[in-house]
Amino acid sequence: MASGGGVEEASNKQVILKDYVSGFPKESDMYVNTSGTIKLKVPEGSNAVLVKNLYLSCDPYMRPRMKQPIPGGETYIESFKPGSPISGHGVAKVLDSGHPNFKKGDLIWGMTGWEEYSLITATQTLFKIQHTDVPLSYYTGLLGMAGVTAYAGFYEICSPKKGEHVFISAASGAVGQLVGQFAKLLGCHVVGSAGSKEKVDLLKNKFGFDDAFNYKEEPDLDAALKRYFPEGIDIYFENVGGKMLDAVLLNMRIRGRIAVCGMISQYNLDKPEGVQNLMTLIWKRVRMEGFLVFDYFHLYPKFLELVLPYIKEGKITYVEDIAEGLENAPAALIGLFTGRNVGKQLVVVARE
């Protein structure tokens, strides 16, 4: 760190988006810029927060943010800017603060930059971390956005009841592994799908799913679901979309519910796959509801109250896939879309 004009300045490695992405994203759509610097001080009079980033979260919703915005088209979140560092959820330490709610030394999680240090002006996305007797990295997933997503999607959208039959796709991912554990704790029958033997083993042996299958080894998804759910599916927690959704629709039970959390199989297609079996919504009186975690952050304290004791009692476990250093961040993010990650994918920028 160099001192300049009384303000400490540091070099600041950043992950930059080269240009808008169409089709399947590649590592080379981003690059790591090592020549930047940052003043480690909040500008005079600003209520921003200056943080040192520790852990960064890789999330599927970041793919749509790489797209060129459609003029006049609406979207729920703005696109990244080519030439600028990308952003996402992360865990960070406050180095300087102009905001009354945050002070130097605080640990926070929320929206930050993919870089070593960030000046965060959108402080409304930040949560102060109060509980540090759990791994800090959990605040990128289990105790962060993925956790609230699983909690709101399962309890608020699915209206689950004990004994119901629950199916989760992308079930070993950041959200899926938690939904399955919530469902088991409630007394549901839980089956998950994932894309490798290793992940299927995790679901059955580590997360306590009743059963699990590798969708890549099932040429007929409808037949697979009929095998695992001979009586049908009450609740489908949708993370993938496309062919899996079409097969699930054929297997829903009367008054079933589908929480549409994500459709990762569709994010890299220029034209989404068509879903043909929506008539089942009528015959089976199915409710299908999309949701965004941003609408549910007010439930965060209630969520922590439920989940912290479960973690401490060992009733909820969490698997993370940790990439080391910003240099490896682009590959970690791209890996989400090939299913390379096992469990919640995150990047360590610094451990303290």
For residues 122, 125, 129, 134, the Cα torsion angle rounded to the nearest 10 degrees is: -130
Q: For a copy of itself, how many residues bind (rule: CB under 8 A)?
A: 33
Q: Would you say 55 or 236 has its CB closer to a copy of itself? A: 236
Among residues 266, 268, 317, 328, which is the contact residue for a copy of itself, using CB under 8 A?
266
Among residues 181, 280, 341, 345, which is the contact residue for a copy of itself, using CB under 8 A?
280
Q: Would you say 42 or 152 has its CB closer to a copy of itself? A: 152
Q: Would you say 163 or 272 has its CB closer to a copy of itself? A: 272
Q: Whole-number minimum distance, CB 267 to a copy of itself, in Å?
A: 8
Q: Does 241 bind a copy of itself (CB under 8 A)?
A: yes
Q: Does 291 bind a copy of itself (CB under 8 A)?
A: yes
Cα separation, 345 vs 177, in Å, equals 13
Residues 167 and 238: beta-carbon distance below 8 Å: no
Q: Whole-number minimum distance, CB 352 to a copy of itself, in Å?
A: 36
Among residues 200, 245, 311, 329, which is the contact residue for a copy of itself, using CB under 8 A?
245
In sequence order, what E strands does 98-197 have?
107-113, 117-120, 127-128, 165-168, 189-194
Among residues 159, 196, 277, 317, which is the contact residue for a copy of itself, using CB under 8 A?
277
Cα separation, 302 vs 131, in Å, equals 14
Residues 101 and 125: beta-carbon distance below 8 Å: no
First and final C-alpha spacing in the chain: 17
**Of 43-51, 94-102, 257-265, 317-325: span binding a copy of itself (CB under 8 A):** 257-265
Sorted by sequence, the CB contacts under 8 Å of residue 177 that are 6+ apart come out as: 171, 202, 203, 207, 318, 319, 343, 344
Q: Does 299 bind a copy of itself (CB under 8 A)?
A: no
Among residues 48, 288, 316, 333, which is the contact residue for a copy of itself, using CB under 8 A?
288
Among residues 214, 273, 317, 328, which is the contact residue for a copy of itself, using CB under 8 A?
273
Q: Would you say 186 or 260 has its CB closer to a copy of itself? A: 260
Q: Whole-number minimum distance, CB 281 to a copy of itself, in Å?
A: 3
Nearest in space to 257 (alpha carbons), one of 248, 266, 265 = 248
Q: Are strands 233-238 and 252-260 parallel, antiparallel or unpaired?
A: parallel
Q: Whole-number minimum distance, CB 238 to a copy of itself, in Å?
A: 9
Q: Does 243 bind a copy of itself (CB under 8 A)?
A: no
Q: Does 274 bind a copy of itself (CB under 8 A)?
A: yes
Q: Does 281 bind a copy of itself (CB under 8 A)?
A: yes
Residues 337 and 265: beta-carbon distance below 8 Å: no
CA distances to 36, 61, 323 from 264, in Å: 33, 8, 21
**Of 92-100, 125-133, 290-298, 332-340: span binding a copy of itself (CB under 8 A):** 290-298
Nearest in space to 264 (alpha carbons), one of 335, 332, 212 = 335
Among residues 198, 295, 324, 327, which is the contact residue for a copy of itself, using CB under 8 A?
295
3-state secondary structure 186-255: HCCEEEEEECCHHHHHHHHHHCCCCEEEEHHHCCCHHHHHHHHCCCCEEEEEECCCCHHHHHHHCCEEEE
Cα separation, 70 vs 193, in Å, equals 34
In the range 32-51, which residues lie near a copy of itself by CB under 8 A? none
Binding positions for a copy of itself, rule: CB under 8 A:
74-76, 241, 245, 260-263, 266, 271-292, 295
